[in-house]
Amino acid sequence: MSTTSNAQLIKQEAYRLGFDFVGIAKAEYMEEEARRLEDWLNQNHHGKMSYMENHFDKRVDPTKLVPGAKSVISLVYNYYTDENQSDEEAPKISKYAYGKDYHFIIKDKLKTLLQYINDTIGEVAGRCFVDSAPVLERDWAKRSGTGWIGKNTLLINPKQGSYFFLAELIIDLELSTDTPIKDYCGTCTRCIDACPTDAISPQGFVLDGSKCISYFTIELKEAIPETHRDKFENWMFGCDICQEVCPWNRFSKRHQEPAFEPHPDLLSLSKNDWEELTEDVFKELFRKSAVKRTKYAGLKRNIDFLK
């Protein structure tokens, strides 16, 4: 079968599995992205995320992750919901963490897709990635034409905005590739203007991770600097501000993934409920959630910081 028909088969199966957008790029060394990543690291924009310094060669060369790699299949999975927490004064949690941990949900779908390729097209060597390895996922998504990287540094798709999880299949099968799409941010600066910690550079397209609310509430293991008190706009886990203000997210559509539905009690908890959160309630609410990453002590630290 041709590289085009094989690519079409893979995309059809990916859509059947629930992915919203799929694109394919040639697996090759990422020269421009390597320079940009090196500059970002040199400016210490990764803060205490020392793991970002590791495996630099693998981040910019997919053949170091999958020997003989020919194609990078980028997949986009929607998590948007119009549901919100009922108490407007309650500490806020990012929408991506409302339901079950996306790593497991999407990884299972990727494994199914890889098995489909082996069964239908022929045996291939490949690996599945969901935000769990040194892969520049937004850059691959951009290369594959599933969106452009916005001024807030998130992937934006013109049909559905930016509330997406990104995933990749890197395989040693040659496939016809897609082309990048135009950047449609234009002169808009809403995300830059709205960021309360000035994490996005004045010109956009560069994020100082060490200033991002998501970094402070998820990645940082030590005390949150006092210099940032009163700047979090009540976010206790993650932050959606730069997505909430993005005009492209008026096209967001509610996800169709049952696993992403929140725990029945999650959105109804009051400000007082959160401030009095016990470890038992934490374990029940977030048993299979990405929020477990902060552990109970980490989330309590974040909630106390907001008082």
Instruction: Cite the active site residues.
Output: 131
Q: Furthest-apart CA pair in the chain: how many Å?
A: 62
Contact in structure between 176 and 4 (CB atoms under 8 Å) = yes
Q: Is 119 exposed, middle or buried (0-12, 13-18, 19+ CB in 10 A)?
A: exposed
CA 169 to chain centre: 16
CA-to-CA dists, residue 67 to 14, 31, 159, 173, angstroms: 24, 18, 35, 11
- In the block, tokens 């908890």 appear at 269
- In the block, tokens 């992937």 appear at 155
Please name which of 219, 232, 19, 203 lies closest in space to residue 106, comparing C-alpha atoms.
19
| Rounded Cα distance, 232 and 17, in Å | 37
| Rounded Cα distance, 147 and 153, in Å | 12
| Rounded Cα distance, 154 and 60, in Å | 18
Which residues have a Cβ under 8 Å from the Cβ of 16 and sit 6 or more positions away? none
Structure tokens at 180: 């990048």
Q: How many CB atoms neighbour CB 75 within 10 A? A: 32
